[in-house]
Structure 1
Amino acid sequence: MTFPPPHIHPPTISHTHTIIFLHGRGSNGPEFASDLFSSKSSTHKNLAQTFPSHKWVFPTSRDRWSTTFQEEQCAWFDAHSLDDTTQGSESQVEGLRESVFYILDLLEKEAEVLDGRFENILLGGISQGMGIALWTLFGAAATGRITGRLGGVLGLCGWLHFAEELEQGSLGLDDGGHTLCEIFHEKMSVPGLKHWKSSWIPMLKKGVLMTPVFLGHGTDDVWISIRLGMEAHQIMKHFVDRAEWYEFSGAEGDGHWIKEPEGFDQIVRFLRSSSSNSSEVVVDDNI
Structure 2
Amino acid sequence: MEHPQLHIHHPEANHTHTAILLHGRGSDGPEFAEELFSSTTSREKNLTACLPGWRWVFPTAGDRWSTTFQEEMCTWFDAYSLGDIQEKQELQADGIKESATYILDILENEIALLGGKHTHVYIGGISQGMATTIWTFLGAVATGRIQGPLGGVLGFCGWFPYAQQLGDLVQKSDLSDGVGSPQMQRLLSGFFFDTLFHKAPQPSQPPDTSVMSTPVFLSHGTDDDWVSVELGRQASRVLRKALLHVEWNEFTGAEGDGHWIKEPEGFDQILQFLERPPQKS
How high is the TM-score relative to the length of structure 1?
0.90
Which runs of no fewer than 5 residues in structure 2 stay unpaired?
A: 177-182
Does 2:219 match 1:211?
A: no
Does 2:48 match 1:31?
A: no
The answer to whether the 8 Å contact 2:194/2:200 transfers is no
The answer to whether the 8 Å contact 2:190/2:200 transfers is no
Counting only pairs closer than 5 Å after superposition, residues 1-287 of structure 1 correspond to structure 2 as 1-170=1-170, 172=173, 174-175=175-176, 179-189=187-197, 194-195=202-203, 203-204=208-209, 207-273=210-276, 275=278
Assess, with a 3 A threshold, how the Cα gap between structure 1 residues 196 and 59 changes in structure 2: closer, same or farther.
closer
Distance (Å, rounded) in 2 between the aligned partners of 1:63 and 1:187: 23
**How many equivalent residue pairs?**
272
Of 265-274 and 244-253, the range deviating more from structure 2? 265-274
SS state at 2:72 partner: strand
Displacement of 1:111 in angstroms is 1.0
SS state at 1:125 partner: strand
RMSD: 2.1
SS state at 1:179 partner: helix
The answer to whether the 8 Å contact 2:149/2:211 transfers is yes
Which runs of no fewer than 5 residues in structure 1 stay unpaired?
A: 278-287
Distance (Å, rounded) in 2 between the aligned partners of 1:164 and 1:74: 26
Displacement of 1:188 in angstroms is 1.2
CA deviations 1:153-194 (Å, max 9, x no partner) are 000000001111110122548247981111111011289962
SS state at 2:192 partner: helix
Amino acid across the alignment from 2:214? T
Distance (Å, rounded) in 2 between the aligned partners of 1:122 and 1:264: 16
Distance (Å, rounded) in 2 between the aligned partners of 1:274 and 1:72: 42
Displacement of 1:37 in angstroms is 0.2
Assess, with a 3 A threshold, how the Cα gap between structure 1 residues 192 and 109 changes in structure 2: closer, same or farther.
farther
Distance (Å, rounded) in 2 between the aligned partners of 1:68 and 1:113: 39
The answer to whether the 8 Å contact 1:173/1:179 transfers is no
The answer to whether the 8 Å contact 1:170/1:180 transfers is no
The answer to whether the 8 Å contact 2:6/2:60 transfers is yes
Distance (Å, rounded) in 2 between the aligned partners of 1:3 and 1:190: 25
How high is the TM-score relative to the length of structure 2?
0.92
Displacement of 1:276 in angstroms is 6.1
Distance (Å, rounded) in 2 between the aligned partners of 1:106 and 1:190: 24
Amino acid across the alignment from 1:60? T
Amino acid across the alignment from 2:51? F
The answer to whether the 8 Å contact 1:142/1:196 transfers is no
Distance (Å, rounded) in 2 between the aligned partners of 1:249 and 1:273: 25
